[in-house]
């Protein structure tokens, strides 16, 4: 198979690996003899859980089906609560058809549903539908807010965590914002230290103007959950430095660790009193793709803005008008995510069974994957509390690093590329941004999604083990 080629400045390592995975997949489907032992590529780099084999939640697909084909509502094919929900949603659409346009910020009915859901989540803290915007995913919502930040004078910058979602640096580059990385403390369970944030601000003085801080809670990639105390520290820091809080909360309904709960930034902000709750500006994001639905293809999510003035709300809507609006089918799914079947509803039992099964599979897979990888030489992986990824740390032998460098390649990328070409496993990859390695080793982090059928995960782990042990024999 072809040799690893260098990563260009315009192409991220993830994009390079994904591109190569697509090529190998096409070649296998064409029946070409690649002289490999695998019959298909297993892509665990992305969070596309349906692609990995997880089945959709029945209720959301039934409601969408009823809205797409209203004749179904005249029969008993669909449960009565599905028919009722679909009919209510159709009545909110112009012409009672999901083929009609909606407001750029989303159907008013759906925004009301989301606002009620947020208030319920936060113990009664009020949420206004006027501050809710339905977007074509959390990524799009974040892009809109970053475009708004770019309107300020000077070289605007955003503090971002390391590790971070792999798409975040490219998003900042696209909108013209300068990234200011702050490092999460891996040995402290990916904890966030205020001193690290302070150092970033001090280093940036005279070079750029920090406008916002991006926070991921639960950790988008790392799977950690911030304590109330940690959230309070970040809010105080944001208030002192006059930073806009951009809060990624897409895994809020994917918390599975015992004695652990998700607490939103908005709730903590309000509980801290008016000195902070009337001052700190915040945007929080949620998504169908990363939430319990895992509906990546429906392209929808929402964001809530807190403490922004009317002009900002209007400008946000203007930006959304020029952006890709969430499809109506996605908006319907957001409504279901925010207001699922309730006890006593005909669909409640099946919905609860499917969601519980998904969370149980996730928890079992997490436990299995973390233990398995920690038994591999050179690997270490922290336990995970939420989300769908593990982020194992890999230390590579000196001889492997030397060989990869002699060829002009990043050692971790070279390892990941060989894993793909020799065993058909496509992982996400990040070089360690801190100099954590000694003279004899280089480190990187891999990104693996584990929300998939358990037998599929087992195949991923076995292929990884076989490759890794052979790799160590070689180097």
- DSSP letter at 343 equals T
Residue 22 resides in a domain: yes
Would you state the pLDDT for residue 320? 76
Rounded mean pLDDT of the chain? 92
CATH number, position 204 = 3.40.640.10
Q: Which residues contact 311 (CB under 8 A, 6 or more apart)?
A: none
pLDDT of 203 higher than 50: yes
pLDDT of 172 higher than 60: yes
Rounded Cα–Cα distance for residues 142 and 319 (Å): 12
Residue 274 burial (C-beta neighbours within 10 Å; 0-12, 13-18, 19+): exposed
pLDDT of 1 higher than 50: no
Q: What is the mean pLDDT of residues 216-236?
A: 95
255: left (phi > 0), else alpha (psi -120 to 50), else beta?
beta
Residue 374 resides in a domain: yes
Note whether 295 and 333 are same-domain residues: yes
Note whether 334 and 437 are same-domain residues: no
Note whether 268 and 333 are same-domain residues: yes
Note whether 207 and 287 are same-domain residues: yes
Counting the structural domains of the chain, the total is: 2
Residue 316 resides in a domain: yes
Would you state the pLDDT for residue 2? 42
Would you state the pLDDT for residue 6? 42
Span 425-460, pLDDT tens digits? 999 988 665 434 344 457 889 999 999 999 999 999
Span 77-114, pLDDT tens digits? 999 999 999 999 999 999 999 999 999 899 999 999 99
Which of these, 445, 448, 451, 450, lies nearest to 184 by C-alpha position? Answer: 445
Q: What is the mean pLDDT of residues 257-270?
A: 95
Would you state the pLDDT for residue 432? 64
pLDDT of 8 higher than 50: no
Span 296-306, pLDDT tens digits? 999 999 999 99
Q: What is the mean pLDDT of residues 192-212?
A: 93
CB 407 within 8 A of CB 414: yes
Q: Residue 191: what are its φ and ψ, rounded to 5°? A: -70, 155
CATH number, position 470 = 3.90.1150.10
Tokens of 115: 């606002």
More confident residue, 398 or 345: 345
Q: What is the mean pLDDT of residues 136-149?
A: 90
- In 3-state terms, what secondary structure has residue 178? strand
Note whether 258 and 399 are same-domain residues: no
Q: How far is CA 366 from CA 67, 132, 370, 375, 393, in A?
A: 36, 33, 6, 14, 15
Rounded Cα–Cα distance for residues 49 and 74 (Å): 33
Would you state the pLDDT for residue 12? 64
pLDDT of 119 higher than 60: yes
Span 344-395, pLDDT tens digits? 999 999 999 999 999 999 999 999 999 999 999 999 999 999 999 999 999 9
The rounded percent of the chain whose pLDDT value lies above 90 is 79
Span 307-330, pLDDT tens digits? 998 888 887 888 777 666 799 999
Residue 92 resides in a domain: no
Span 146-164, pLDDT tens digits? 988 887 777 999 999 999 9
pTM of the model: 0.92
Domain boundary among 307, 338, 369: 338
More confident residue, 21 or 409: 21
Would you state the pLDDT for residue 5? 41
Q: Produce one character per residue of 337-361: b if its CB has 16 or more CB atoms within 10 Å, e if not.
A: bbbbbeeebebbeebeebbeebbeb
pLDDT of 9 higher than 90: no
Residue 322 resides in a domain: yes
Note whether 371 and 458 are same-domain residues: yes
pLDDT of 13 higher than 80: no
pLDDT of 173 higher than 80: yes
Enclosing domain of residue 107: 102-338
Rg (CA), the chain: 23
Residue 187 burial (C-beta neighbours within 10 Å; 0-12, 13-18, 19+): exposed
User: Could you give the dihedral angle defined by the CA atoms of residues 123, 125, 126 and 130, in that order, rounded to the nearest 10 degrees?
Assistant: -100
Would you state the pLDDT for residue 11? 53
Note whether 304 and 386 are same-domain residues: no
Residue 82 resides in a domain: no
pLDDT of 3 higher than 60: no
Span 35-65, pLDDT tens digits? 999 999 999 998 999 999 999 999 999 999 9
Note whether 311 and 374 are same-domain residues: no
More confident residue, 130 or 407: 130
Note whether 289 and 373 are same-domain residues: no
Residue 2 resides in a domain: no
Note whether 318 and 429 are same-domain residues: no
Residue 143 resides in a domain: yes
Note whether 160 and 248 are same-domain residues: yes
Rounded Cα–Cα distance for residues 391 and 448 (Å): 7
Note whether 266 and 304 are same-domain residues: yes
Classify strands 156-162 and 132-135 as parallel, antiparallel or unpaired. unpaired
Q: What is the mean pLDDT of residues 233-237?
A: 97
């Amino acid at each position: 198979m072809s040799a690893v080629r260098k990563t260009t400045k315009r192409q991220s390592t993830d994009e390079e690996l994904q591109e190569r995975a697509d090529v190998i997949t096409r070649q296998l489907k064409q029946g070409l003899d690649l002289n490999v032992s695998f019959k298909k590529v297993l892509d665990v780099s992305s969070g596309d859980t349906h692609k990995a084999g997880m089945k959709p939640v029945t209720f959301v697909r039934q409601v969408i089906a009823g809205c797409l084909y209203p004749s179904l509502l005249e029969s008993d094919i669909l449960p009565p609560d599905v028919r009722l929900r679909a009919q209510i949603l159709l009545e909110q659409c112009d012409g009672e058809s999901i083929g009609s346009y909606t407001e750029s910020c989303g159907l008013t009915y759906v925004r009301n549903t989301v606002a009620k859901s947020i208030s319920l989540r936060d113990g009664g803290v009020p949420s206004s539908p006027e501050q809710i915007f339905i977007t074509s995913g959390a990524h799009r919502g974040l892009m809109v807010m970053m475009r708004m930040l770019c309107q300020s004078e000077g070289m605007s910058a955003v503090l971002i965590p390391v590790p971070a979602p792999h798409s975040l640096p490219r998003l900042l580059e696209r909108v013209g914002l300068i990234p200011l990385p702050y490092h999460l403390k891996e040995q402290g369970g990916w904890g966030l230290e205020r001193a690290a944030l302070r150092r970033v601000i001090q280093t940036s003085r005279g070079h750029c103007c920090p406008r916002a801080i991006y926070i991921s809670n639960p950790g988008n990639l790392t799977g950690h959950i911030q304590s109330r105390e940690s959230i309070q520290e970040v809010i105080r820091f944001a208030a002192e430095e006059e930073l806009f809080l951009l809060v990624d909360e897409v895994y809020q309904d994917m918390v599975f660790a015992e004695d652990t709960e998700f607490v939103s930034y908005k709730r903590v902000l309000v509980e801290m009193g008016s000195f902070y709750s009337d001052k700190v500006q915040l945007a929080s994001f949620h998504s169908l793709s990363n939430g319990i639905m895992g509906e990546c293809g429906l392209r929808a999510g929402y964001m809530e803005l807190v403490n922004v003035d009317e002009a900002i709300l209007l400008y946000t809507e203007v930006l959304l008008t020029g952006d890709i609006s969430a499809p109506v089918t996605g908006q319907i799914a957001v409504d279901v995510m925010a207001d699922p079947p309730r006890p006593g509803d005909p669909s409640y039992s099946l919905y609860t069974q499917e969601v519980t099964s998904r969370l149980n599979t996730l928890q079992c897979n997490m436990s299995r994957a973390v233990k398995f990888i920690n038994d591999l030489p050179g690997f270490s992986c922290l336990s995970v509390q939420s989300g769908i990824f593990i982020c194992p740390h890999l230390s590579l032998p000196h001889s492997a690093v030397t060989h990869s460098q002699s060829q002009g390649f990043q050692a971790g990328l070279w390892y990941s590329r060989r894993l793909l070409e020799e065993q058909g496993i496509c992982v996400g990859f990040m070089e360690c941004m801190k100099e954590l390695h000694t003279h004899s080793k280089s480190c990187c982090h891999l990104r693996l999604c584990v929300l998939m059928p358990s037998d599929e995960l087992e195949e991923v782990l076995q292929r990884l083990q076989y490759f890794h042990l052979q790799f160590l024999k070689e180097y």
